[in-house]
Structures are given as structure tokens and as C-alpha cells.
Amino acid sequence: MSFSAEWLALREPFDRQARHAGVLQRAVAALSGRPAVTIVDLACGTGSTLRALGPHLPVHQTWRLFDNDLSLLARVPPAANVHVRPLDLVAELEAALDGPVDLVTTSALLDLVSADWLERLVAEVATRRLPLYASLSYDGRVELAPADPRDAAVIAAVNAHQRRDKGFGPALGPMAAQTAADHLEELGYAVELEDADWVMRETDQAMQEALLAGWAIAASETGEMPAEAVAEWLLSRRAALTAKRSRIRVGHLDLLAAPAAARRADRSQSNSTSSPSR
């Protein structure tokens, strides 16, 4: 499955706004006390996690960015401490984690992956006792205003579409972040899972239009709704959008998982508390 640079650029401000500030802060705290850090970002796209997290980390940071889309990697702003490498995470996940690593990050990836691939990721991270910051996994919650009687059916079809194969086998879709949290807790990790929702106001026209059009295509592809009903839904939602009456909230989850020992050390330093996973 490919993602256009234009779509990633459109969503990035909403991602940045949605990121759970406490989870991000504790991802930073998980690295505290180290004079230099190395971060591996899986499925980096054009580098949005680097831009979101980098400014909060110690000055001496090295990033290794991996993606299988060369056109996206070419848009990562060049820097001496940022190393981009084309890599297929299905075939070569383990290679991405080779060498010194202090933190593994990813954003908007987990909902695309299969149960088997997620287990593989968790096993590789846990074997190395690495913390994992996996942000912005779609969780299936969508609120649309003003309400349309067809909303629930369209979103149910969209969520069914999310479970289709996105290149990693049948996708976990909305279940991905909770599934990752459960696996990591089983392996002794301290896990935080917090809401990180996109919030679109009446004036966020381009993002809403892209989302609604994408959802209409996805819902139609499932065949779960008559194509005419999807088309009518899209017309109605576009009318609300043009009239500047449309608001959308899309549920995402931010996950931070740290090996238990790292979390104990982190707490004694920052005296912060963390909520258990949901």
C-alpha cells in the first residue's frame, strides 16, 4: 500500500496536534540521563516522528529512518545525524533493529500490520529490551457532526476495510494498538495507551475533504453498503463541509512501552505517574 507525500503533509499538523503530550514527554524521559541517543523510526514516511520528537531530545541524537517508499524517503530533510534507508519491513524488520538503539518509534503504522507481524515486532523489541513509542494508531472511533443517518454504516464499512491486507497480511486495523499493549504487558513491559485523536474544525476543509473522499472509496470497496447510499452520504457530508458546519473527530491511540527496569529508573528520576493501558 502506498501513501502520497501530499496526504502525509496534509495530515502532519493534525498528527502533531493529536499526539498525547504526556506520552511524548515520557518517551523523552525514557531516554533521560543519556548524553547521546539513537532512535530507529519504522515506516518513517517523510520523517514526521523525527520532526515531532527530535526537538525534545538531547542535542546528540542519531536517527535511523526506514521506509520502503523511495519517493517519501527522498523528502526527509537531509541532516548529518539522520540516516535514511529503504527497507521492506515485512522482509527485513530485524535488520532495521540491528546495532545500537535506544528507542524504537513508529507512527501511523500499527493499524496497517497483521497480528503475526505485530508479534514479530514485539518479540524483536522485547528481546533487545528496547522502549517502543508507537503513536497515532487508528482505533475505529469516528464522530461526525452534524449527524447523518448513514454515518454508522459507512464507518462500520470503513473499519471492515481497515482489516484488509495492507501489505503485512490481514491488518489488525482498529485493534492494533490495544493488541500491541497486551503483548508488551505480557512480556513485562510497562505500557501507556492514551487517546491521540484528530480533531477537525469547520475550517479544516482540505483534511476533511480528503478523509471523507477516502472513506467513501473504502466503504464502497467493501460492498457492505450499496454504492448509491455511499454516494448520497458523501454528497450530504460535502454539503455540510461547504456550509462550514462539518466537524470530525477520529480516534487514535499513542502507545509507550518501556521495559520494567527502565520504567522504575525513569520514575525515580521524574517522580511521574503513568496510567495503565486500557
Distance in angstroms between the alpha carbons of the first and the last residue of the chain: 30
Nearer to ligand SAM, 40 or 44 (CB): 44
- What is the distance between the alpha carbons of residues 9 and 41, in angstroms, rounded to a whole number? 18
Per CB under 6 A, the segment of 30-38, 43-51, 155-163, 178-186 that binds ligand SAM is: 43-51
β pairing state of 247-259 and 132-145: antiparallel
Does 196 interact with ligand SAM (rule: CB under 6 A)?
A: no
The answer to whether 209 touches 241, Cβ cutoff 8 Å, is yes
Number of residues that bind ligand SAM (CB under 6 A): 19
What's the gap between Cα 210 and its chain centre?
18
Does 108 interact with ligand SAM (rule: CB under 6 A)?
A: yes
Give the bridge partners for 189, in sequence order. 259
Does 84 interact with ligand SAM (rule: CB under 6 A)?
A: no
Whole-number Cα distances in Å, 86 to 68, 96, 201, 253, 255? 5, 10, 36, 27, 25
What is the identity of the amino acid at 191? V
Does 3 interact with ligand SAM (rule: CB under 6 A)?
A: yes
Nearer to ligand SAM, 45 or 174 (CB): 45
Does 8 interact with ligand SAM (rule: CB under 6 A)?
A: yes
Record the cell numbers describing residue 12, joined without a space.
502532519
Does 225 interact with ligand SAM (rule: CB under 6 A)?
A: no
Among 109, 130, 181, 211, binds ligand SAM (CB under 6 A): 109
Record the cell numbers describing residue 138, joined without a space.
487508528
Among 23, 24, 27, 45, binds ligand SAM (CB under 6 A): 45
Does 107 interact with ligand SAM (rule: CB under 6 A)?
A: yes
Give me the count of residues in the chain. 278
β pairing state of 82-86 and 247-259: unpaired
Residue that has been written with the C-alpha cell 534507508 in this structure? 85
Per CB under 6 A, the segment of 31-39, 41-49, 76-84, 184-192 that binds ligand SAM is: 41-49
Does 83 interact with ligand SAM (rule: CB under 6 A)?
A: no
Compute the half-sphere exposure of residue 246: CA atoms within 13 Å on the CB side of its CA: 21
Among 32, 62, 68, 236, binds ligand SAM (CB under 6 A): 68
Which residues of the chain form contacts with ligand SAM (CB under 6 A)? 1, 3, 8, 43-45, 48-49, 67-69, 72, 88-90, 107-109, 167
